[in-house]
């Protein structure tokens, strides 16, 4: 199983993500520079966190016009699992692959802290190993992490089961405390918190097991045993 980590100018969680995929979950992982195209035989794609193009204009919007995004959009249509974390989530939203938008946090602060997520949808390639309502201790690190959708879109998200993760309590002013969503087909998932910073017990002071299930879900989806 081959996983691609897309690298944009300003990505800074790409190596953490690569390490987790390759060294922790033993996946065949490769970096793909945003100006290149993706190979046809890729099985999953991750858009990592960071500050692509220095968040200029708006977080994720310039990277959303990168050549590789056309390939990501094609693969999204084919049903290939795609995960966007933090800036990767912002890029997925700005490229139209996920609904909503990420605004500056209500506090206007860059927030770097541990939060608790609650699983709302366990039917995606990144959440199928969870129980509904299961909690995930996981760090956030963002300035523009306040997920916003209007009321009509929120109703649609609920109806189509597109809310994947919610914060356990109010964190940054996100609509409906949403921390992660998926597309209608469920194969494209975006989340603001950083699972790649939470899966190893050495750097997770609370409980690393729940975060590992995000990646175990991908393995289960692909029929790979770890």
Partner 1 sequence: MATFEVHVTIENKPGISDPEGETILNDLVLKGTHKTVSKIKTAKMLKFTIQEKDQKTAQSKIQEICDELRIYNPMVSKVSFDILKI
Residues forming the active site? 86, 194, 196
- Binding part of the chain for partner 1, among 71-79, 128-136, 144-152, 215-223 by CB under 8 A, reads 144-152
Name the burial class of residue 108, with classes exposed (0-12), middle (13-18) and buried (19+) by CB atoms within 10 angstroms of its CB. exposed
Choices 7-15, 103-111, 118-126, 130-138 (CB under 8 A): range interacting with partner 1: 103-111
- Smaller CB separation from partner 1, 99 or 193: 99
| Of residues 88 and 99, the one with the C-beta less far from partner 1 | 99
Position 148 contacts partner 1 (CB under 8 A): yes
Q: Which is nearer to partner 1, 21 or 178 (CB)?
A: 178
- Residue 108 binds partner 1 (CB under 8 A): yes
Burial 86-97, CB ≥16 within 10 A → b, else e: bbbbbbbbbbeb
- Considering the rule CB under 8 A, would residue 176 count as an interface residue with partner 1? no
Q: What phi and psi values does residue 193 have, to the nearest 5 degrees? A: -65, 165
Burial class (CB in 10 A: 0-12, 13-18, 19+), 159: exposed
| By the rule CB under 8 A, 104 interacts with partner 1 | yes
Under the binding rule (CB under 8 A), the answer on residue 58 touching partner 1 is yes
Structure tokens at 87: 């800036």
Q: Is the dihedral of CA 12, 86, 76, 60 positive or negative?
A: negative
100 sits near partner 1 (criterion: CB under 8 A): yes
d(CA 20, CA 9): 21
CA dihedral 50, 53, 56, 59 (to 10 degrees): -40
With CB under 8 A as the contact rule, which of the stretches 26-34, 142-150, 161-169, 214-222 interacts with partner 1? 142-150
The C-alpha atoms of residue 133 and residue 190 are separated, in whole angstroms, by 18
Q: How far is the CB of 175 from partner 1 (least distance, A)?
A: 11
Binding residues for partner 1, rule: CB under 8 A, are: 57-58, 61, 64-65, 94, 100-101, 103-104, 106-108, 148-150, 173
């Amino acid at each position: 199983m081959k996983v691609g980590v897309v690298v944009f100018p300003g990505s800074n969680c790409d190596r953490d993500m690569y390490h987790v995929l390759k060294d922790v979950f033993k996946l065949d992982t490769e970096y793909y520079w945003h100006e290149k195209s993706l190979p046809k035989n890729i099985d999953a794609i991750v858009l990592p966190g960071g500050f692509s193009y220095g968040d200029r204009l708006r977080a994720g919007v310039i990277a959303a016009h990168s050549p590789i995004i056309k390939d990501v959009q094609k693969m999204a249509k084919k049903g290939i699992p795609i995960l966007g974390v933090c800036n990767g989530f912002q890029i997925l939203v700005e490229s139209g692959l996920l609904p909503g938008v990420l605004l500056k946090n209500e506090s206007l602060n860059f927030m770097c802290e541990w939060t608790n997520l609650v699983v709302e949808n366990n039917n995606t390639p990144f959440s199928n190993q969870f129980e509904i309502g299961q909690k995930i201790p996981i760090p956030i690190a963002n300035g523009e992490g306040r997920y916003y959708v209007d009321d009509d879109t929120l109703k649609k998200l609920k109806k189509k089961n597109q809310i994947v993760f919610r914060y356990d309590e109010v964190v940054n002013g996100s609509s409906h405390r949403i921390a992660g969503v998926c597309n209608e087909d469920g194969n494209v998932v975006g989340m603001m918190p950083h699972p790649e910073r939470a899966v190893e017990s050495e750097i997770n002071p609370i409980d690393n097991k729940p975060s590992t299930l995000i990646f175990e879900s991908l393995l289960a989806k692909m029929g790979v045993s770890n």
